[in-house]
Structure 1
Amino acid sequence: MKFNKLASATAAAALVIAPVAAQAADSVAPAVERVSASTTAKGEKLEGENGILIAVLAAAAVIAGIIIIADDNDPTSP
């Protein structure tokens, strides 16, 4: 029981101290200039090469769902 109280007190202290320590580390760190990466990439396409294939498969899935829902093969008792 005593160990559980010690462990929970340590965890609570860590949760309180961690953000304070992180903020203090940011303020002490030297100023660093951020540089963005170059965006000129030849041959890269943002949409990819499978956009049309995915659209066709999605349309087929929707059509198959509609057919399955509209199918009227309900079993009836005699």
Structure 2
Amino acid sequence: MKFRNIVLATAAVSLAASPAIAEAAFERSVAPVEGESKVGGESIILAILAASAVIGGIIIAADGDDDDAVSP
């Protein structure tokens, strides 16, 4: 019972300390930015395609076509 408590306490401490250790280990550096992104215009097209796919899915799902069972 005592060994189990020690193992659980060690696991809890390691889980609590791991985010702080990971943050200290990796320092983020900022890369220099040169110019603007060339992908900016395509986001509108992707948004329109995504919206049309969602609307199409809603229309297909909400279709009132009642399929009757074929078997007697």
TM-score by length of 2: 0.45
Structure label with greater radius of gyration: 1
TM-score computed with the length of structure 1 as normaliser = 0.43
